[in-house]
């Protein structure tokens, strides 16, 4: 068996065009969706991600207000900035680029963004909604994972899904969404303390790798015909590698392209989320 690879670039272009149409419809009603992007410090990786997000927004007609703060900004000053943006009625959504410098409390910062403007879907209210039959805001990478899963035609209800990693951005919320009442999969969260994780993976219909450990998942851990989605990234010796070994393609039925970033899906889902929030405001 040779896996069918998800065409992330083609799917991304389709999503981009859909967002252009939605943004144009809002503009005709006199509404300009606006994303506030808060960047702390000058980390080169963060700067690259931010520039790509801004470029995507411009392509579809979403305005961007970029705020760059010093790496030494205090917690109080950062929270004050978020509060001002949250009160600004011209701002549709707020995104604080992560990770933040070590002296800042990420959890407190994310909770300071109101659930209604939380495009990352990391506010406690939005996270808990993932367990319900009607999630409010799904974190962008997790929403991308959900979108590619839909392409497989796999019935998620009752399927065995393993999520490698339990991070704030992907692993944790993916587990909540897929095990929640809207998807109803049987989900196992695997992490560095898990026992017999290879056996668990071998019994999985779907594997979602978000551990950030290069080529952690090897062919002997994957059952024939499984769907494998790799969103983990690391740079051993300076080259990008995913969590899934390329040879897994010989076993899986569907698979993300080996050693490729999932970033295009995350960025396209950010656009969809900003537009969702703008449309919800009209309906309210």
CATH number at residue 219: 3.40.50.720
Q: Into how many domains does the chain fold?
A: 2
Task: Measure the CA–CA gap between 166 and 153, rounded to whole angstroms.
Answer: 26
Specify whether 76 is located in the same domain as 192: no
- Under the banding of pLDDT at 50, 70 and 90, the label for residue 57 is very high
Q: Which of 134, 283, 90 is nearest to 126 (CA)?
A: 134
Residue 1, pLDDT > 80, answer no
Specify whether 85 is located in the same domain as 150: no
Specify whether 134 is located in the same domain as 225: yes
Specify whether 99 is located in the same domain as 173: no
- Under the banding of pLDDT at 50, 70 and 90, the label for residue 47 is confident
Q: Mean pLDDT over all residues of the chain?
A: 95
pLDDT digits (tens, 9 = 90+) for 206-250: 999 999 999 999 999 999 999 999 999 998 888 889 999 999 999
- Domain membership flag for residue 274: no
Give the mean pLDDT of 103-122.
96
Copy the structure tokens of residue 204. Answer: 């999985």
Cβ-contact 271, 240 below 8 angstroms: no
Specify whether 133 is located in the same domain as 255: yes
Task: Measure the CA–CA gap between 18 and 225, rounded to whole angstroms.
Answer: 31
- Assign residue 85 the CATH number of its domain: 3.40.50.10860
Specify whether 163 is located in the same domain as 195: yes
- Domain membership flag for residue 19: no
Specify whether 146 is located in the same domain as 257: yes
Range of the domain at 75: 29-114
Residue ending a domain, choose from 114, 149, 169: 114
- Domain membership flag for residue 158: yes
- Domain membership flag for residue 162: yes
Specify whether 72 is located in the same domain as 144: no
CB count within 10 Å of CB 139 equals: 29
- Domain membership flag for residue 3: no
CB count within 10 Å of CB 87 equals: 10
Specify whether 68 is located in the same domain as 185: no
Specify whether 45 is located in the same domain as 160: no
pLDDT value at residue 82:
97
Specify whether 86 is located in the same domain as 144: no
Copy the structure tokens of residue 94. Answer: 């707020």
């Amino acid at each position: 068996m040779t896996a069918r690879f998800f065409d992330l670039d083609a799917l991304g272009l389709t999503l981009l065009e859909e967002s252009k149409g939605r943004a144009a419809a809002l503009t005709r009603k006199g509404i300009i969706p606006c994303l506030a992007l808060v960047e702390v410090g000058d980390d080169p990786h963060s700067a690259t991600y931010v520039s790509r997000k801004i470029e995507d927004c411009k392509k579809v007609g979403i305005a961007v207000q970029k705020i760059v703060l010093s790496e030494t900004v205090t917690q109080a000053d950062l929270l004050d900035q978020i509060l001002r943006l949250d009160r600004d009625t011209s701002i549709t959504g707020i995104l604080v680029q992560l990770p933040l410098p070590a002296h800042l409390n990420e959890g407190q910062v994310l909770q300071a963004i109101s659930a209604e403007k939380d495009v990352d879907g990391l506010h406690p209210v939005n996270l808990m909604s993932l367990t319900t039959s009607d999630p409010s805001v799904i974190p962008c990478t997790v929403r991308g994972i959900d979108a590619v899963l839909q392409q497989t035609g796999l019935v998620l209800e009752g399927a065995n899904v393993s999520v490698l990693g339990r991070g704030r951005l992907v692993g944790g919320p993916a587990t909540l969404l897929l095990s929640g009442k809207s998807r109803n999969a049987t989900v196992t969260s695997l992490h560095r303390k898990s026992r017999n994780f290879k056996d668990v993976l071998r019994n999985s219909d779907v594997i979602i790798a978000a551990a950030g450990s290069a080529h952690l998942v090897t062919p002997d851990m994957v059952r024939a015909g499984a769907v494998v989605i790799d969103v983990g990234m690391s740079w051993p010796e300076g080259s990008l590698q995913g969590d899934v070994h390329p040879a897994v393609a010989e076993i899986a039925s569907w698979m993300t392209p080996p050693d490729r970033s999932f970033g295009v899906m995350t960025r396209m889902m950010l656009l969809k989320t900003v537009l969702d929030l703008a449309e919800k405001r009209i309906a309210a």
